Chains A and B, each alone.
Chain A
Amino acid sequence: MELIAATRVAKAQTRANEARPYAARITGVIEDLAKGGASASHPLLEAPEQVRKIAYVVISGDRGLAGPYNSTVIRAAEREIMDNQSKGVDYSLILIGKKARDYFRFRNYTIDAFYEGITDTPDYDSAREVAEYVSEQFIDGDIDQVILVFTEFVSIGTQKLAVRQFLPLESVTTIAAAGGGGELTAEFEFEPSADGVLESLLPRYVESRLFSALLDSSASEHANRQRAMKAATDNAEELITKLGRQLSSARQAAITTEIMEIVGGAEALGGDDDDKNATIQQILQTSTTSI
């Protein structure tokens, strides 16, 4: 399982890297729009005056045996929920992965949406499905804020828990600034218009952010599983050596006892010394070969 997880990490990492250009380019287009003076009004950008209900998108795995991977995200999410509940803010749970569902269902939380089977190798369509559901709820005003709880893949040795605000999005200019600027170009032309482009672009941006969170989580899950399985293999090897030694000493003790019994038995039979020695030799030979 360690080896399987190891190949999966490599695959998940390549996928995460391959997805990066799209995310970078989409941020690039938002930069252009900010320069081109797109107005900053879009339902996905608007923060409600009062936050009454926060939705948590929790990305966990479908399977266990991945060390602390699942419990870390789940506990972080539960802590957030409790903190905000004490401030009188309601919660809504959008769970990805069976492990999170099992945990929250057992504790009688209300689960509003649940997705499974996408964390192993996330595809863009499932990211879109989740993003559409969340955006819809947000635009309708059912939820006032969306927080994403997932695991960030830093390197094969380090994965970090990440709790990020997902919606409302930061303003267009903030997104553009995070993109790092870029060289100055002449004025852009937009078709149909800067606002028109922005309108169809923002949902894609939301999807792509969720998609990269999914890919990061997936790579982290496999890395965690590889580590957990490596620890398990090491432990098992240690156990095998220890038990092997125990077995040998038990076997040796049994043989010694048996020889003692044979010698004792032969002595009790009496007879000439030479005769006795010959019988003992014979018996010993047969018994040692059988052992």
Chain B
Amino acid sequence: MSIHVEFVSPERIIFEAEAKEIIVRTTDGEIGFLPGHVPFVGVLAVAEARIYDADGSTVHSFAVHRGFVEIANNHCTILSDVAESANDIDRARAEVAERRATEALAADKENADAANALRRAQVRLEVAKKAS
């Protein structure tokens, strides 16, 4: 048994696969799905999403910035504005973004935009490390 998983962005379907396990992070915390999971809808946090291929050969890692996850009848849909695979991430850009956000945050601790940007950059870098 496997889960059919789809990453859907507003512009197109980014990624599709058969998976044996999916791990994402919702606003309440990390959650893993195995085949046969009860129907579930959750709001995603800015974090990494991991998909374990059904044949166990590869682990796909994505940086997901806000969105939703829906799972029902072994069919999983991840709706997200931005989902980048490890190979697509521009590490240099993410590093620059991280530095800039850190500086902005140091100047103004209440700056929510900077805090979000920092979190996004950190997730990107974390995912980029796993690039093959």
Question: Is there an interface contact between A32 and B41, defined as CB atoms closer than 8 Å?
Answer: yes
B11 surroundings in chain A (CB, below 8 A): 15, 18-19, 22, 123-124
Instruction: Indicate whether A49 reaches chain B with its CB closer than 8 angstroms.
Output: no
Q: How far is the CA of A186 from the CA of B41 in the complex (A)?
A: 13
Question: Is there an interface contact between B13 and A18, defined as CB atoms closer than 8 Å?
Answer: yes
Contact with A along B49-89 (1 / 0, CB 8 A): 00000000000000000101010110001010100000000
Q: How far is the CA of A185 from the CA of B71 in the complex (A)?
A: 11
Q: How many A residues touch the partner, as a band?
A: 20 to 34
B39 surroundings in chain A (CB, below 8 A): 32, 185-189
Q: How many B residues touch the partner, as a band?
A: 20 to 34
Question: Is there an interface contact between B43 and A29, defined as CB atoms closer than 8 Å?
Answer: no
Instruction: Indicate whether A259 reaches chain B with its CB closer than 8 angstroms.
Output: no
Instruction: Indicate whether B38 reaches chain A with its CB closer than 8 angstroms.
Output: yes
Residue among A22, A32, A33 with the most chain B CB within 10 A?
A22
| Chain A residue with the shortest CB-CB distance to B28 | A191
Q: How far is the CA of A160 from the CA of B90 in the complex (A)?
A: 42
Q: How far is the CA of A26 from the CA of B9 in the complex (A)?
A: 11
Instruction: Indicate whether A69 reaches chain B with its CB closer than 8 angstroms.
Output: no
Contact with B along A233-270 (1 / 0, CB 8 A): 00000000000000000000000000000000000000
Question: Is there an interface contact between A33 and B10, defined as CB atoms closer than 8 Å?
Answer: no
Instruction: Indicate whether B8 reaches chain A with its CB closer than 8 angstroms.
Output: yes
Q: How far is the CA of A192 from the CA of B68 in the complex (A)?
A: 11
7 further interface pairs, Cβ-Cβ under 8 Å (given A29-B79, A124-B9, A183-B73):
A18-B13, A22-B10, A22-B79, A25-B77, A185-B39, A188-B72, A190-B42
Which 9 A-B pairs have CB atoms at the shortest separation, nearest pair first?
Answer: A191-B42, A18-B12, A124-B10, A188-B39, A189-B40, A191-B26, A22-B10, A22-B8, A185-B39
